[in-house]
Structure 1
Amino acid sequence: MENPFYSSSLKENNYITSKADYTNGNFERRTPPSDDNVSISIFNPTIKEGFRKYVIYTISGLDLQGTFEAYRRYKDFIRLRTLLVQHWPGCFIPHIPPKKMLGNLQSNFIEQRRKLLELFLNKIVSISYLYHSQEFHMFIRGPNEYHKTTSEFRRISLIQLSQTYLSVFADSPRVTPEEIATIDESYNYFKKALYEMELVFAACLRSLETFAEYEEHLTPLMNGLKDVNSLYVLLGCKEFRVLTREIYTNPYFMLLDYLKSEIMDLKAIIEAIHKKKAYDRITTKAEERLENERKKLQKIQQGNKSLAMIITNKPKDAVVEKLSSDIAELENELQAIYSITRIISSQLFSHEIPRFKKEKIYRFETVMRTFLSANIQELESLIAQTQKIDNAFNS
């Protein structure tokens, strides 16, 4: 089934090359961290032969450590993002474009994916803790077999994760129940926004295709009218001269790119809040498990034999020692979960959600002004063309 996220059925967009803001792909490039001077780009996508053909993307850039260059497949980008989501739960992790089963080797599709993957990397670079992560630096500087070399990365323990978060997000303030409730409200709002954005995306894709048909047929139409006019000039009709345009500005390409970026970002912020909800459930289960272990210990200390004691015939002291050790471990783990959950909630409420909303407002207003300006420019060109014909008949 064709993935509407990619307009692969359309011809190459050669109509907006004079408008860099339409084609550079940086629709949501955040400002890089102040202590880092980083540039990164993807170029020269190359189709490679193998058991199945695939595309290799060249990643090149410059940071404080010097230049870097790496060669990565699409599955390597998937691997990178998977690791970042695992190691930074509750944080905004930029999305990558979705998979496509058919037509993924077409030049138009490859270029669209290249732009979106480059956008993904620039967003990572703009978030300091993601940019400085081991996963990302191995991605831009490590061996070619990224998917294999990162197999050494194991899921980090809750204790390790809490230590990382307490270090990286040391200034995270505590949030109130009322503030946590606003996170849930934002979650519902973003889900609704995603639904609406996907509807607009579908409508924009239809408009783009309609405009493409319009521009494809307008030049032959105008040339045909000139040919007809030349015939009637012989009969005394007034002659009009109009230069037909070879280049048109299809503003829907720009709008479609913007919508793709917004859809990916909405999915990312929804995912971040969903991780917070997942840790709420983890907290509840850990509390229940700890309470059950404490009850077991209390019963044994009161002289009741547990099922494990009966089956294994272990002495009471050994069972008590094991349960006490398990309880201590669970208590440490629960404290780690509390820290993680608190920091996730704090980051979402005080940082991620406000920044996301602010960026989206600014970006929407900017894109709409550019989109409307492009529409006006295109319509004015058409009006000027038709006015010349009208002036010829009225002169």
Structure 2
Amino acid sequence: MDQAQEDNSQGFQNEKQEEPTLEQQIVQTAEYPNSPIEIAITDAITKDGGLGIKYTVYLIKGLDNQGSFEVFRRYNDFYELRVALIKKWPGCYIPPIPEKLLGSGNDAEIVQIRKRLMEIFLNVLTELPYIYYSEDIQQLFLRSTNTEINKVFQQQKQVTSADIIDRFKRAFPNLDVRDSSNSEYMLQISTFQGQLKKSQVHLKQYIEQSQVVAQTRKQIQNEKLNLFFGSLPLYEKVNLTEYVYGKENLLILSNPQNIEPLTKLLDQLKEVYKKFNSLDNITDLFRFELKDAESIQQSLTYRDQLLIQRANQEQKMREDQAELAKIAAGKQTLTTITNSVFNKAKDQSQVKVEQKISEGQQEIERLSQLYNITTAIIATKEIQKYRKTRINHYHKFLRQVQNQEQQVYECENELLQKIVEECERLSEQQNIQS
């Protein structure tokens, strides 16, 4: 390895650093994840925008070391935020959100899916402090009172390769950047791409299977409610009434004295069934991981596009060099040989082309540098982070499933316990009377 490569392999740390801003200090010194961050989408409200147009807003609440926040955001705000982050952090993993729909996004089921998955999106961003503490998240998305924040993101200035390199230097000051020919990084990325493609095939199958099971469970829950508060009360009235000699107080589900407390428990159970279906969470796990795989694939695709951009820039520079050679040789037109006006124009054209060549060369160098940087980010950070995140999210989803199953069980058990207690009370009453 020559001296230039050796210096480059040491990353950004040897380069002269400007005095960091407050945001840069947060990025470099935040002790995440020790700093607690709470963020959740607590509600989704569909509103009437007039002229028969409806829209849904999602209430985001949270707390971080900048204080508490509470803000309403629409799906398009999430969408444009993610587009802005991809432009500013190309090659870096940006978590996914549900895809845009051609039809209405206000369907109740779609709203709930978006609510769950966009909350995951926000929570994953908290694990990326260099993004979470950026202006786009802190000042704009979470704390701005602007109700059309999506337009703010759309109107942001175009991001240049120089901007991206500068941002990466601040976010990853000790990044081990190597020459593009480094086989270790290339092998890691190639192996990871193969794993991604394989997992995506299986995830699509898992989504279909879990959706069927989740829908089946909803049907079973509805049938269970119909059994206890439809069929069994009717059975008591039609079949058991004659056996108790018209004494309805010996019945359970059709007993007028029990209707009010049992109805209250029934309403609670209905609400729990509506709020919690842990199998929906399993579907979300597979659905989010599939979108997640597509998101990390975007990072890899951007890296490949850098080579195309550099090749296009090199071709453009060759054309400019050919144009410069023509000007220098005085081959533009015959009049340039004798006409001073045209000679002056030739000089101006030559300066302009030379400037284009110089700028093109600088852009080629930046694209090469950016390719090496994104390669290092993907190989040393994003792949490892992606694998670790997959396991952590899986464990988190399992805990959520357990918690939701526990709440459903407790609500069902409370209802059944009430029915059993009433049976025991009536049995004791009959024993006393006999």
Name the TM-score, length of structure 1 as normaliser. Answer: 0.73
Deviates more, 1:197-206 or 1:250-259: 250-259
Do residues 342 (structure 1) and 344 (structure 2) align?
no
Do residues 139 (structure 1) and 141 (structure 2) align?
yes
Tell me the secondary structure at the aligned position of residue 163 of structure 2: helix
- Could you say which residue in structure 2 is the equivalent of 1:291? 318
Question: Structure 1 stretches of 5 or more lacking a match?
Answer: 1-30, 235-242, 386-395
- Could you say which residue in structure 2 is the equivalent of 1:3? none
State the distance in 2 between where 1:158 and 1:282 align: 11
User: Aligned pair in 2 of structure 1 residues 70, 273: CA closer, same or farther (>3 Å)?
Assistant: same
Q: Of the candidates 154, 158, 162, which is equivalent to residue 155 of structure 1?
A: 158
Deviates more, 1:123-132 or 1:180-189: 180-189
- Could you say which residue in structure 1 is the equivalent of 2:48? 49
Q: What percentage of aligned pairs have identical amino acids? A: 23
Deviates more, 1:33-42 or 1:110-119: 33-42
Deviation at 1:101, TM superposition (A): 4.8
Deviates more, 1:335-344 or 1:80-89: 335-344
Report if the CA contact (8 A) 2:33-2:127 is conserved. Answer: no
Structure of higher CA gyration radius = 2
Deviation at 1:168, TM superposition (A): 2.2
Which runs of 4 or more aligned residues in structure 1 lie more than 6 Å from their structure 2 counterparts after TM superposition?
221-226, 245-249, 307-310, 368-375
User: Aligned pair in 2 of structure 1 residues 126, 105: CA closer, same or farther (>3 Å)?
Assistant: same
User: Aligned pair in 2 of structure 1 residues 314, 33: CA closer, same or farther (>3 Å)?
Assistant: farther
Tell me the secondary structure at the aligned position of residue 171 of structure 1: coil
- Could you say which residue in structure 2 is the equivalent of 1:325? 355
Deviation at 1:292, TM superposition (A): 3.2
Tell me the secondary structure at the aligned position of residue 42 of structure 1: strand
Deviation at 1:309, TM superposition (A): 9.5
Q: Deviations over 1:279-335 (max 9, x none)?
A: 12112222222233334334544x25247997x945443333222211111122122
Do residues 258 (structure 1) and 285 (structure 2) align?
yes
Tell me the secondary structure at the aligned position of residue 69 of structure 1: strand
User: Aligned pair in 2 of structure 1 residues 219, 322: CA closer, same or farther (>3 Å)?
Assistant: closer
Do residues 194 (structure 1) and 224 (structure 2) align?
no
Deviation at 1:359, TM superposition (A): 2.4
Report if the CA contact (8 A) 2:95-2:292 is conserved. Answer: yes
Report if the CA contact (8 A) 1:191-1:270 is conserved. Answer: no
Tell me the secondary structure at the aligned position of residue 288 of structure 1: helix
Q: Of the candidates 164, 168, 171, which is equivalent to residue 168 of structure 1?
A: 171
State the distance in 2 between where 1:271 and 1:61 align: 29
Amino acid at match of 1:348: I
Question: Structure 2 stretches of 5 or more lacking a match?
Answer: 1-29, 244-252, 254-264, 417-434
Q: RMSD over aligned Cα, in angstroms?
A: 4.0
User: Aligned pair in 2 of structure 1 residues 81, 367: CA closer, same or farther (>3 Å)?
Assistant: closer
State the distance in 2 between where 1:124 and 1:369 align: 20
Report if the CA contact (8 A) 1:169-1:343 is conserved. Answer: no
Tell me the secondary structure at the aligned position of residue 222 of structure 2: helix
State the distance in 1 between where 2:168 and 2:325 align: 34
Q: Counterparts in 2 of 1:1-395, with a 5 A limit?
A: 33-34=32-33, 36-51=35-50, 52-102=53-103, 104-136=105-137, 137-142=139-144, 143-175=146-178, 176-217=182-223, 251-301=278-328, 303-306=329-332, 313=342, 315=344, 316-364=346-394
Count of aligned pairs = 344
User: Aligned pair in 2 of structure 1 residues 219, 59: CA closer, same or farther (>3 Å)?
Assistant: closer
Name the TM-score, length of structure 2 as normaliser. Answer: 0.67
Comparing both structures, which one devotes a greater share of its residues to helix?
A: 2
Amino acid at match of 1:285: N
Report if the CA contact (8 A) 1:45-1:56 is conserved. Answer: yes
Report if the CA contact (8 A) 1:87-1:155 is conserved. Answer: no
- RCO higher in structure (CA 8 A, sep ≥6): 1
State the distance in 1 between where 2:34 and 2:159 align: 28
Report if the CA contact (8 A) 2:39-2:62 is conserved. Answer: yes
Tell me the secondary structure at the aligned position of residue 259 of structure 1: helix
User: Aligned pair in 2 of structure 1 residues 254, 42: CA closer, same or farther (>3 Å)?
Assistant: closer
Q: Deviations over 1:81-132 (max 9, x none)?
A: 1111111111111111123455633444323322221221121122112112
